């Protein structure tokens, strides 16, 4: 096809002659300045081909897809995992892996850790504030002259040009520095922040324990519900076969059908509970809400429970609540000391070493006495200040009373924390001991319930048991297995709560 003497057989990388026609239109307009109609014709044809090309047809769908992808949410539990042959394998997490991930992504724990780091820097700053400081300052003072005197119009300067280059050394001596009250307050504040970080860490461990083993229990209940559904289907099939043989009435088939329907509904509810438990754990462990993970079922691995005397010793030595209350009391005592020393005088020293001369040099002539010749400029001068509080309208006394109130409240908080520790220690220890003793009983009950279902099913086939005996055995087995899983999770939670008081053991 030829238009205006140019061939349109050439195509661009998209297989369309659109861009080539546009280039031809531009080139034709430059070469044939007198033929404006040819250039307009080529441009018009190029626009038509551009609108009719497949690439143009894909512009709007691609734009809509790009806009919709911004607000698109995951469609299902595994929406975060790639699909097809490139699907990633799920991450397998142990309980320790879950704890490490939760510490990394939990905002409350990270906030407590940041407060602890800030308190550490405050302590370093308080220690440095008690030491002498050194600074360097450099100035130029330009003064307008008056035409008569060499000092200019400002009497504070001895010349029109004044240069200052000083090294300044400063030290303040006060009763607060001598008693180290400010520094000790920062030490107590750092200890308090670290204790609160430990409290947040142990509280996070309880949260992760509840979410992690909540998912494990939900998976176990899901498996139990699936087995119950399959058992109900088998019982229904057995009753139908026995009805055809004339051994049981049709009412048995109806009863087993109702049981099968209820088992299917319970299975759907168990799946929903498992999905919700997975969502709760995914929020704690992943920054991008990934649900493509598995957890290790270690509920049957029991933890040793120390003796009560050993637990009491661990709680007395490693309890973060007591450490936090004690640190708050030390902080209040330091504030009280600072409030008392504020009534005493303070002494400050400033030593400046350098030059202050009319020329930026080690030796020069002074403008006030040029006849004295070149004099040395390098030297020092010292300033000693004594500050004594005389009258402040009761501000210092008000601060002293505030410090006394805070110390009194800190004493009350410490004694209450000690009483609360003893109460929680006995409660958590009794809970852990009781839950551990019940685990073996629940395990035996689950085994007996499974054996009871097997025997009742055989008796029903032999015509020695009723349909109610089989249904009761099935329900008992489901309840026993679920109770066993709940008992194991309860034991884990009791141990986690006890370790918030004693630390890991």
pLDDT (0 to 100) of residue 191 = 95
Domain 105-130+180-345+388-502: which CATH number of 3.40.50.1460, 1.20.1600.10, 1.10.3720.10, 3.30.200.20: 1.20.1600.10
Residues of the chain scoring pLDDT < 50: 1-22, 24-86
CB 43 within 8 A of CB 22: yes
pLDDT, position 55: 42
Alpha carbon distance, N-terminus to C-terminus of the chain = 87
Burial 58-70 (b: 16+ CB within 10 A, else e): eeeeeeeeeeeee
Give the pLDDT score at 370. Answer: 81
Distance separating alpha carbons of residues 132 and 173, to the nearest angstrom = 10
pLDDT at 77: 40
What is the pLDDT at residue 75? 40
d(CA 109, CA 28): 70
Are β-strands 133-142 and 161-173 bridged in parallel, bridged antiparallel, or unpaired?
antiparallel
Bridge partners for 6 per DSSP: 3
Which are the contacts of 433, defined by CB distance < 8 A and separation ≥ 6?
305
Interacting residues of 228 by C-beta distance below 8 A, sequence separation 6+: 263, 266, 267, 474, 477, 478
What confidence score (pLDDT) does residue 87 get? 62
DSSP string, 320-352: HHHHHHHHHHHHHHHHHHHHHHTTS-EEEEEEE
Q: What is the pLDDT of residues 238-253, one digit of tens each?
A: 999 999 988 889 999 9
Which residues, 6+ apart, have CB-to-CB distance to 226 below 8 Å?
A: 267, 270
Model pLDDT, residue 97: 95
Q: What are the sequence ranges of the domains in the chain?
A: 2-60, 105-130+180-345+388-502
Q: Distance (Å, rounded) from C-alpha 334 to C-alpha 183?
A: 9
- Tell me what pLDDT residue 463 has: 87
Give yes or no for a contact between 247 and 463, defined as CB atoms under 8 angstroms apart: yes
β-bridge mates for residue 138, sequence order: 165
Q: Which of 82, 79, 80, 330 lies closest to 185, judged by CA? A: 330
Give the distance, in angstroms, between the CA of residue 399 and the centroid of all CA atoms in the same chain: 37
With 0-12 / 13-18 / 19 or more C-beta atoms within 10 angstroms meaning exposed / middle / buried, residue 88 is exposed
Least Cα distance to 344 among 177, 183, 182, 187 occurs for 177
Cβ proximity of 480 and 449 under 8 Å:
yes
What is the model's pTM? 0.73
pLDDT in tens, 14-27: 444 444 444 544 44
Position 398 scores a pLDDT of: 96
| 3-state per-residue secondary structure call for 225-276 | HHHHHHHHHHHHHHHHHHHHCCCCCHHHHHHHHHHHHHHHHHHHHHHHHHHH
CA-wise closest residue to 498 among 319, 326, 325: 319
| C-alpha dist (Å) from residue 351 to 52, 165, 221, 290, 498 | 85, 13, 78, 63, 59
Residue with structure tokens 């600074």? 135
Question: Residue 11: its pLDDT value, please?
Answer: 41
- Is residue 491 within 8 Å of residue 436, measured between CB atoms? yes
């Amino acid at each position: 096809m030829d238009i205006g003497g140019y061939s349109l057989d050439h195509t661009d990388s998209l297989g369309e002659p659109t861009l080539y026609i546009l280039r031809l239109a531009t080139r034709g307009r430059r070469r044939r300045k007198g033929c404006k109609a040819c250039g307009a014709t080529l441009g018009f044809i190029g626009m038509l081909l551009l609108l009719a090309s497949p690439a143009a047809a894909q512009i709007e769908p691609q734009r809509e897809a790009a806009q919709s992808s911004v607000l698109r949410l995951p469609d299902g539990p595994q929406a975060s995992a790639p699909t097809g042959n490139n699907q990633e394998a799920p991450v397998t997490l142990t309980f320790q892996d879950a704890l490490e991930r939760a510490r990394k992504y939990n905002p409350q724990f990270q906030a407590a850790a940041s407060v602890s780091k800030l308190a550490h820097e405050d302590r370093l700053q308080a220690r440095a504030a008690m030491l002498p400081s050194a600074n360097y300052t450099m100035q130029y003072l330009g003064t307008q002259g008056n035409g008569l005197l060499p000092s200019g119009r400002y009497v504070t300067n001895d010349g029109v040009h004044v240069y200052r280059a000083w090294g300044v050394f400063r030290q303040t001596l006060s009763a607060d520095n001598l008693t180290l009250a400010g520094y000790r307050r920062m030490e107590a504040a750092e200890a308090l922040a670290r204790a609160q970080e430990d409290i947040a860490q142990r509280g996070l461990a309880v949260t992760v324990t509840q979410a992690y083993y909540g998912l494990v229990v939900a998976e176990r209940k899901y498996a139990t519900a699936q087995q119950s559904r399959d058992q109900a289907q088998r019982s229904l099939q057995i009753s139908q076969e026995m009805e055809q043989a004339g051994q049981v009435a049709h009412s048995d088939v109806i009863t087993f059908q109702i049981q099968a329907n209820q088992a299917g509904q319970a299975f759907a509810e168990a799946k929903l509970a498992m999905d919700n438990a997975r969502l709760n754990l995914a929020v704690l462990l992943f920054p991008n809400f990934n649900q493509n993970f598995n957890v290790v079922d270690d509920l049957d691995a029991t933890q040793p429970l120390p003796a009560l005397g050993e637990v009491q010793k661990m709680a007395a030595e490693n309890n973060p609540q007591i450490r936090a209350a004690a640190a708050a009391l030390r902080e209040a005592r330091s504030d009280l000391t600072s409030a008392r020393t504020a009534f005493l005088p303070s002494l400050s020293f400033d030593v400046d070493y350098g030059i202050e001369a009319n020329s930026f040099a080690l030796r020069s002539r002074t403008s006030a006495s040029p006849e004295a010749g070149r004099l040395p400029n390098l030297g020092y001068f010292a300033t000693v200040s004594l500050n004594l509080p005389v009258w402040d309208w009761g501000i210092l006394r008000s601060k002293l009373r505030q410090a006394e109130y805070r110390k009194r409240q800190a004493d009350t908080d410490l004694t209450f924390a000690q009483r609360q520790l003893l109460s929680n220690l006995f409660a958590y220890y009794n809970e852990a001991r009781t839950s551990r003793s019940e685990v073996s009983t629940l395990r035996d009950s689950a085994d007996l319930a499974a054996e009871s279902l097997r025997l009742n099913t055989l008796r029903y086939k032999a015509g020695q048991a009723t349909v109610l005996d089989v249904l009761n055995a099935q329900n008992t087995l489901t309840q026993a297995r679920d109770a066993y899983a709940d008992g194991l999770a309860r034991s884990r939670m009791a141990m986690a709560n006890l370790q918030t008081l004693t630390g890991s053991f």
